[in-house]
Amino acid sequence: MKPRVLILGGGIAGIAAAMKLCAAGSRVTLIESRDRLGGRASSFFDAKSGLWLDNCQHVTLGCCDSYLHLCDLLGVSHLIRWDSEQYWVEKGGRTTILKPAHLPAPLHGLPAFLKAKFLNFSEKVRISAALAQLRFLNRFEHEAQTFASLLDDLNQEESERTKFWDPIIISACNLTPARVSALPAIQVFQQAFLAGAQASRIGIMTVPLGQIYERATSAIADSGGTLLLGESVSHYDAHTATLASGHTLEADAVICALPFEKATLFADDGLKHLDERFANMSRMTHSPILGVHLFFDRPVLPLPHAVLVGAETQWLFRKDAEGRIIHAVISAADDWMALDQDEIVQKVLRDLLVRFPHAADAQLELARPVKERRATFACVPGFEPLRPAVASESGTGPFLAGDYTQTDWPATMEGASRSGFAAAARVLHSVRATLPAQSLPELV
């Protein structure tokens, strides 16, 4: 009498749903077109370096409760390195360390902010005044407004936008302030930057993400779940999924945890006609991210990470103990997608060398740019009303999971985790009405 559940897609949302459903006694079959789990937040083997490299650097924050819960379920929380400090580096190498003080939120960040070298006194006054107002805004009232427009209302000038607002918002939302809705941008500050020292901590996995999802593969299998890796879905509805091979699987419920464009493409035509969620999803668009892996013959980055003030390359991450292997991240990378590898590498090197002049003598041994053209959804004004609920208005399936659903979060691992857990809960509540209660343990 255990409910049978098909989960389409093995990214973070699909993994989260599978872990919760397996724990509740469901018979889960997870279908993933690749030969490994992880989706966009995963790794690939690079033959030239002989290493497993992440598609792009993924970062969690202390406020990401659902993703951290998923890490606990997978037994990988100990592999997260936590940094309370942020290192902001200007041209010439001058560095500001933003470190929280032992003060209640939002005052915890004030002492370090007042000492920030990359901002002058007037800029600090204007930014402080804007942050004080952001803390109390109802972000949902500003969904139709761009964050750049909101910064106009908050009297922010070009210098503080370039130095302070741009690095934070472009990295967090993967859109420029001129494009991103003010809703997710406000949320970044309310739930992370201003919420306290614990909430704003930066967490980075100390192993390639692929290793994390190898744990997920084992955990799902050990819990009685079935994994169909290397299998693509060509069609699905509320109770069936047809594989590209032509084989059709049946279940009590289907959770579609595919990216929104595939969720729409493979959905049954009748579903798309009756369920307005799919019409809205067809109007969603993407925003790209570029990650660049750089291998030098000597150390070039003495810091665990660096926010590059006023640069097109927003972040550098040190990927080894010495600082020889660096991962550069360019979010909202639309203008970079047409560039070839040499052009990309030269632009990143200019940003790096201007801020770390001592690295000029280092020889670049290998560079590996990775373009993620469909890295995240584009959370532009008008996007929030398009985000689908987990279930249709009738409460029937298929159930949807993915960071693009109604998670109340931007395109993040936290949003994906939340959606997977929410979909699992809705599935159990739905099938509970048709199966004996004693056959369904409580969702843990």
- Same domain? For 261 and 405 the reply is yes
- What is the spatial distance between Cα 83 and Cα 399, in angstroms, rounded to a whole number? 36
Structure confidence at residue 435 (pLDDT):
52
- What pLDDT band is residue 441 in, cutting at 50, 70 and 90? very low
Whether 388 is covered by a domain: the verdict is: yes
Whether 310 is covered by a domain: the verdict is: yes
Whether 312 is covered by a domain: the verdict is: yes
- Same domain? For 265 and 213 the reply is yes
- Same domain? For 255 and 296 the reply is no
- Same domain? For 267 and 408 the reply is yes
Whether 51 is covered by a domain: the verdict is: no
What's the sign of the alpha-carbon dihedral 254, 281, 213, 173? Answer: negative
- Same domain? For 354 and 393 the reply is no
- Same domain? For 406 and 277 the reply is yes
Which CATH number does the domain housing residue 336 bear?
3.90.660.10
* pTM across the whole model: 0.93
Q: Give residue-wise pLDDT tens across range 119-175.
A: 999 999 999 999 999 999 999 999 999 999 999 999 999 999 999 999 999 999 999
Residue 80 has pLDDT above 80, yes or no: yes
Domain's final residue, options 377, 404, 419? 377
- Same domain? For 252 and 306 the reply is no
Which range of residues forms the domain containing residue 367? Answer: 286-377
- Same domain? For 299 and 362 the reply is yes
What's the sign of the alpha-carbon dihedral 409, 380, 197, 312? Answer: positive
Whether 79 is covered by a domain: the verdict is: no
Do the beta carbons of residue 302 and residue 323 sit within 8 Å? yes
Which CATH number does the domain housing residue 11 bear?
3.50.50.60
Q: Give residue-wise pLDDT tens across range 298-334.
A: 999 999 999 999 999 999 999 999 999 999 999 999 9
- Same domain? For 279 and 412 the reply is yes
Number of domains in the chain: 3
Whether 262 is covered by a domain: the verdict is: yes
Walk across the sheet containing 27-32 and list its strands.
226-229, 27-32, 4-8, 253-256, 399-400
- What is the spatial distance between Cα 333 and Cα 337, in angstroms, rounded to a whole number? 7
Structure confidence at residue 2 (pLDDT):
86
Q: Give residue-wise pLDDT tens across range 232-286.
A: 999 999 999 999 999 999 999 999 999 999 999 999 999 999 899 999 999 999 9
- Same domain? For 241 and 257 the reply is yes
- Same domain? For 267 and 399 the reply is yes
Domain's final residue, options 328, 362, 377? 377
Whether 444 is covered by a domain: the verdict is: no
- Same domain? For 269 and 292 the reply is no
Whether 199 is covered by a domain: the verdict is: no
